Chains A and B, each alone.
Chain A
Amino acid sequence: MTMLLENIKLAFTSLLANKMRALLTMLGIIIGIASVIAIMTVGDSLIIYISEEMNSMGANNIMVSLQPRTDDDNFFSTMMSAATMDQEISEDDMITIEMLEELNNQHKDEIKAITIYDYQGSGQVSKVKDYANVSVYGVSAGYFASQELDYVAGRLFNAHDFDEARPVAIVSTVVVDNLFEGDAEKAVGSQIEAFVNGKYSEYTIVGVYDYMVQNMATMMMSAYEISTEMLIPYKTSVNQTHNTDISNLYVVAKTGVDSDLLAKKIERFFEGYYRDNKDYKVVAYNMQSMVEMVGNMIGVVTTAISIVAAIALIVGGIGVMNIMLVSITERTREIGTRKALGATNSSIRTQFIVEAIIICLIGGTIGVIVGILGGECAAMILGYPATPSISGIIISLIFSMITGVFFGYYPANKAAKMNPIDALRYE
Chain B
Amino acid sequence: MEDTIIKLENIVKKFYIGKPNELEILHGISLEVKKGEFVSIVGPSGSGKSTLMNLIGVLDRPTEGSYVLDGIDVSKAQDKELSAIRNKKIGFVFQTYNLISRTNALKNVELPMLYAGVPAEERHKRAKELLELVEMSDRAKHLPEELSGGQKQRVAIARAMANNPAILLADEPTGALDSQTGRLVMDLFHKLNKEKGITIVLITHSMELAEETGRIITIKDGNITSQAEGGKA
Contacts and interface: CB of A to CB of B under 8 A. Distances in A.
Given A2-B119, A14-B102, A333-B98, A341 B111 contact: yes
Interface of A: 2-3, 6, 10, 13-14, 17, 333-334, 336-345, 347, 420-421, 424
Given A2-B119, A3-B114, A339 B83 contact: yes
A342 B87 contact: yes
A344 B83 contact: yes
B79 A341 contact: no
Contacts of A10: 102-103
A3 B120 CA distance: 10
Contacts of A337: 94, 98-100
- Of the candidates A10, A13, A345, A424, the one having the most CB atoms from chain B within 10 angstroms of its own CB is A424
Contact of A340 (B79, B86, B120, B163): B86
B79 A342 contact: no
Contacts, number: 69
A347 B86 CA distance: 14
A421 B102 contact: no
Interface residues of B, number: 30
B102 A13 contact: yes
Nearest to A347: B115
A222 to B, nearest CB: 59
Contact of A345 (B79, B99, B100, B120): B79
20 contacts: A2-B117, A2-B119, A14-B102, A17-B102, A333-B96, A334-B98, A334-B100, A337-B94, A339-B86, A340-B92, A341-B86, A341-B111, A341-B159, A342-B83, A342-B87, A342-B115, A342-B116, A344-B80, A345-B83, A347-B115
A424 B98 contact: yes
Nearest to A3: B114
A345 B111 CA distance: 15
Interface in B11-27: none
B54 interface: yes
Contacts of A17: 102
Contacts of A13: 102-103
B87 to A, nearest CB: 2
Contacts of B79: 344-345
Nearest to B85: A342
Nearest to B98: A337
Which 6 A-B pairs have CB atoms at the shortest separation, nearest pair first? A342-B87, A337-B98, A342-B115, A344-B83, A341-B112, A13-B102
